[in-house]
A and B are shown apart, each in its own frame.
Chain A
Amino acid sequence: MNRGPEPPIGDRPIGINPSFVEHLRAVVPERTAPPAGPSGEVAVPHGTTVVGLKFGGGVVMAGDRRATEGFSIADDKMEKVFPADEYSAIAIAGAAGQAVEIVKLFQLELEHYEKITGDRLSLEGKANRLAQMIRQNFPLALQGLVVVPLFGGFDERRGGGRLFYYDATGGRWEEEDYHATGSGGRPAKSSLKKRWRPGLSRDEGIRVAVEALIDASQEDVATGGPDPSRGIFPVVQIITADGVDRASDEEVRAAYEAVVGEGAR
């Protein structure tokens, strides 16, 4: 709120910029991510597999809990699926530290916009803003700090769930059915291809997502499967007209047992 001398109105754009990230960069540039330095790979934890799929009531987004650093497991309880605001969620694969920072900024960006303007951004607007934020990370992606999110939300204007996926350059595509990304993205996607059908129920949606993560964990070393003995289950967020709801561990455990039981038959 520093009030320096202001130039005449003709020289400055009218209106208030509702972007938090741009405000942050203007007032405290040192607190935002530094530009890319000399090239070279940095060893940092990487989050692995996340999936998203549409179901009758909206979108299910799920992620395994493993983060790897080279050939070691860096963390077995990492969370990679977060509510972005009341009606959307973001799931992230890639360099974990960078990913968590982008999620935090994206959440703030949406909340800030809502508070400044008094309106929530459209789902399309949120998806586009995320693409710009991923694109800004591109110099770091070149150094191996790639972040590739899935973004899902309930579109209040169209009255249905929508799913978007991204690449490291900020490319943004809308997905009609399901998508998976990260190191175990390919096996997860083949699993979804067999199991997914239009108009799944909430329970079926959770089950199909959990099964895709289990399949990915069996094909990809970097993806962690559910571990019932230690109580480690995937994080599953369900986005419907009522908002974002995280499936309880019991619900995910039931889905896991149903999938494993089926496989044993």
Chain B
Amino acid sequence: MSFMPYVPPEQLMKDRSDYAHKGIARGKSVVGLEYHDGLLFIAENPSATLHKISEIYDRIAFAGVGKYSEFEELRIGGVRLADVRGYSYDREDVKAKDLANAYSQTMSTIFTQQMKPYEVEILVGEVGEEPGGNEIYHVLFDGSINDEHDFVAIGGHAEDLTEAMKGSYEQGWDLPTAVQRAVAALSSAEDRQIEAESVEAGVLDRTRKQRRKFRRLSDTEIAGILSS
């Protein structure tokens, strides 16, 4: 029979938080930003198939940084939640806010009740009918949740990236400008040039006529934008 030595809750939470911070700091970053036609999510990702940015629902996208297996599990949970809700009620009743709250609850529970907290941060974005109607939620490993405007950076170099974006961000960018400036900010935060082939980008584009507004930018499209 083993028994646990007493650890003050402050210490326990601090240790877990430090652990999660360290895990996230080792990984790459993601920027989410509002541009003229909707929301752009962009990241450096050497893998072409293991995505950091993906579609959740018609107007909702997901981006995660940190440990892939953990944010992938959250992404799948989100897709299931959204699809069940859309089936049970109606497609327009699926909202990023509800999803972000569900993530917040789950991550908070994991942070306080499991041995190891998740080493992830995620973004949940929803494109509005009008430019003013976009929503971006940022959920941290301990379940804390913020709603963001204009742009938000998460991951290993979030602070440098936020500084770089603060210097250049303007509302109403078109897509090529938004991609170029965001890649410039990612490069300056990493202190090296990020090549087009390792850029992953996805948009929620309100001008798409399809019901599903999410679109992944292809490698050729990104290379074309960055070389112009």
Contact = CB atoms under 8 A, between A and B. Distances in A.
Interface of A: 1, 3, 16, 20, 23-24, 27-28, 31, 104-105, 108, 111-112, 115-116, 118
The 5 closest A-B pairs by CB, nearest first: A1-B77, A115-B79, A112-B83, A1-B106, A16-B76
Given A16-B76, A23-B83, A115-B83, 8 more contacts: A3-B106, A20-B80, A27-B80, A28-B84, A31-B87, A111-B83, A116-B76, A118-B49
A32 to B, nearest CB: 10
B72 to A, nearest CB: 9
B88 A31 contact: yes
A111 B212 CA distance: 10
B54 interface: yes
Given A1-B102, A3-B110, A112-B79, A104 B51 contact: no
Interface residues of B, number: 20
B211 to A, nearest CB: 10
A104 B81 CA distance: 17
Given A115-B54, A115-B55, A24 B76 contact: no
A24 B87 contact: yes
A31 B77 CA distance: 19
Given A1-B77, A3-B106, A3-B110, A118 B83 contact: no
Interface string B118-152: 00000000000000000000000000000000000
B84 A118 contact: no
Contacts of B80: 1, 20, 23, 27, 112
A108 B90 CA distance: 12
B210 to A, nearest CB: 8
Given A116-B79, A118-B51, A3 B109 contact: yes
Given A20-B83, A108-B83, A116-B79, A28 B110 contact: no
Q: Which of B76, B80, B81 has the most CB of A within 10 A?
A: B80
A3 B118 CA distance: 14
B56 interface: yes
Contacts of B106: 1, 3
Given A23-B80, A28-B84, A112-B83, A118 B110 contact: no
A23 B76 CA distance: 12
Contacts of B109: 3
A1 B81 contact: yes
A24 to B, nearest CB: 6
A116 B78 CA distance: 10
A112 B55 CA distance: 11
A105 B80 CA distance: 14
A1 B77 CA distance: 6
A101 to B, nearest CB: 10
12 contacts: A1-B77, A1-B80, A20-B83, A23-B84, A27-B84, A104-B87, A115-B54, A115-B56, A115-B83, A116-B76, A118-B51, A118-B54
Interface string B57-83: 000000000000000000011011101
A116 B55 CA distance: 9
A107 to B, nearest CB: 10
A44 to B, nearest CB: 21
B122 to A, nearest CB: 13
Contacts of B87: 20, 24, 31, 104-105, 108
Nearest to A16: B76
Contacts of A104: 87
B37 to A, nearest CB: 21
